């Protein structure tokens, strides 16, 4: 059964390139980014894992722990990591789950038989500190992920979790936000002292409240 937004992210214990982890325990009070790649020693995945390592600081400042998974075994992962590091000139600084039993892939519905009966699709799950799924994205094996978009969405998720705002199309950190419909205009004016721009009764902009 597919996981939906708001569902508790399934817990699991797995071997990784950084030792055995219990997923929920490993996450602790952090946000989490769990993403799958189809197979080791594949070109697109090599660029993705390198990019993830290069963005370590960006994830850390957002309190996000990153973890990857594929259905290859630990020995394969450990042989592949030096290639990732060499090609991208970076140290792989996050764990990669060995999921040859397909336990994690099954829990998170990462194998789509009409795309491939064996390989995992490029699934992305953003998980909140409450262990609930906040975002799901699914890419085909042929398309590498846009990690700037993933960071952008995390910024939006973290902002809107703490303030009664939403983010408009193409929003990025620092742009104006939208007052949620549940807040009246009168209350919004009191709540957001930087100002409220009423475009329509249901569309009210306010500067990003945490900036």
List strand residue ranges (DSSP E) for the chain, in order.
13-16, 19-22, 31-36, 64-70, 96-98, 122-127, 133-139, 165-166, 177-179, 197-200, 203-206
Phi/psi at 171 (5° precision): -60, 145
Radius of gyration (C-alpha) of the chain in whole angstroms = 19
The answer to whether 35 touches 124, Cβ cutoff 8 Å, is yes
The answer to whether 166 touches 73, Cβ cutoff 8 Å, is no
In the chain, how long is the greatest CA-to-CA distance?
61
Residue 154, exposed/middle/buried by CB under 10 A (0-12, 13-18, 19+)?
A: buried
**Strand 177-179 with 203-206, pairing:** antiparallel
Compute CA 158 distance to the chain's CA centroid, rounded to the nearest angstrom: 12
Which of 45, 49, 64, 127 is flagged as catalytic? 45
Q: Is 45 a catalytic residue?
A: yes
User: 3-class DSSP state for residue 134?
Assistant: strand
Catalytic residues: 45
């Amino acid at each position: 059964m597919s996981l939906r937004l708001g569902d508790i992210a399934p817990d699991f214990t797995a071997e990784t390139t950084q030792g055995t982890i219990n997923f929920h325990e490993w996450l602790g009070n952090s946000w989490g980014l769990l993403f799958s790649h189809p197979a080791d020693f594949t070109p697109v995945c090599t660029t993705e894992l390198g990019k993830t390592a290069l963005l370590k600081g960006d994830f850390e400042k957002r309190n996000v722990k990153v973890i990857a998974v594929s259905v290859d075994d630990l020995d394969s992962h450990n042989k592949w990591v030096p290639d990732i590091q060499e090609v991208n000139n970076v140290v792989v600084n996050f764990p990669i789950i060995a999921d040859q039993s397909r336990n994690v892939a099954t829990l998170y519905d990462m194998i789509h038989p009409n795309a491939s009966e064996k390989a995992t699709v490029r699934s992305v799950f953003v998980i909140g500190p409450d262990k609930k799924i906040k975002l799901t994205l699914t890419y085909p094996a042929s398309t590498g992920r846009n990690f700037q978009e993933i960071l952008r969405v995390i910024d939006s998720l973290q902002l809107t979790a703490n303030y009664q705002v939403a983010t408009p199309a193409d929003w990025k950190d620092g742009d104006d936000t939208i007052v949620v419909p549940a807040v009246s205009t009168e209350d919004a004016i009191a709540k957001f002292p930087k100002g409220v721009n009423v475009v329509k009764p249901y569309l009210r902009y306010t500067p990003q409240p945490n900036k």
